[in-house]
Amino acid sequence: MSQRAPWAATTLAVLTLLTGCGDPELLDPTEEPLAADRERLVAHMTGGLTAIADHLGAGDELGTRIDTGCTAGTDNWKIHDTHRSTCGLTITTGFPLEAGPDAAFGGLDGLDSFEEALDEQGWGSIDWFVQGNDWGTGVDVDWMRANRRPVTDVIGVRLWSADGDGTFIEASFRPSDAPVGPASPGTVDGGYYADTAGEDWQDAWSTARDRHPFLIVGYGHAVLAEQPW
């Protein structure tokens, strides 16, 4: 595939200090070392989602959006949250696909090849979403073979980062006539920091869906940092 277009420079940021007298400041993802960690995680997740698209022969990226959000914990007589503050990342993206999962993967043996290719990109444990089990838990290629489930039953996949930090990416496969909802607002409930960068894929897909039979919807999530009390 050709190199992906750079993200748009649309950024919305809100930062409010919610510190009490003598308390340490809450996590700030714009300061080091979190800023560098954020760049690393964004590159890891977007790289994984791009590797999925490349492996399946998808078209150029329709848009990629990165949301960074931070929330403050509560510590009082009634509520004691685990952390003083937490920052996380989510990524959403889309790619047009010229074939359904069966043709794109090339059968169950193709799932093995896919897993090997993504393992080389730093993505280890894999869960497959299949019709009737859209959570993916416990579904691997051996399970599909044992239960005689064809690749046509595959509706998506979740891959966990080999770093073991809980970072994961997902790709779902949808026919072009499947309804597509609007982009999420990207705000964080109760958050003191919210930043959105890049472009949503939905608008580009609305003009491209007549030319492509399938769509890959990519999603990624990572915890950037957790601040103890």
The whole model's pTM is what? 0.86
Mean pLDDT of 79-105: 93
Helix (H) or strand (E) holding 123: strand 123-130
Q: Convert the pLDDT of each residue in 24-70 to its tens digit.
A: 899 999 999 999 999 999 999 999 999 999 999 999 999 999 999 99
Q: What dihedral do alpha carbons 208, 209, 211, 217 form, nearest 10°?
A: 90
Distance CA 45, CA 64 (A): 11
Contact criterion met (CB below 8 Å) for 222 and 40: no
Chain center to CA of 82:
24
Q: Convert the pLDDT of each residue in 122-146 to its tens digit.
A: 998 899 999 887 677 778 999 999 9
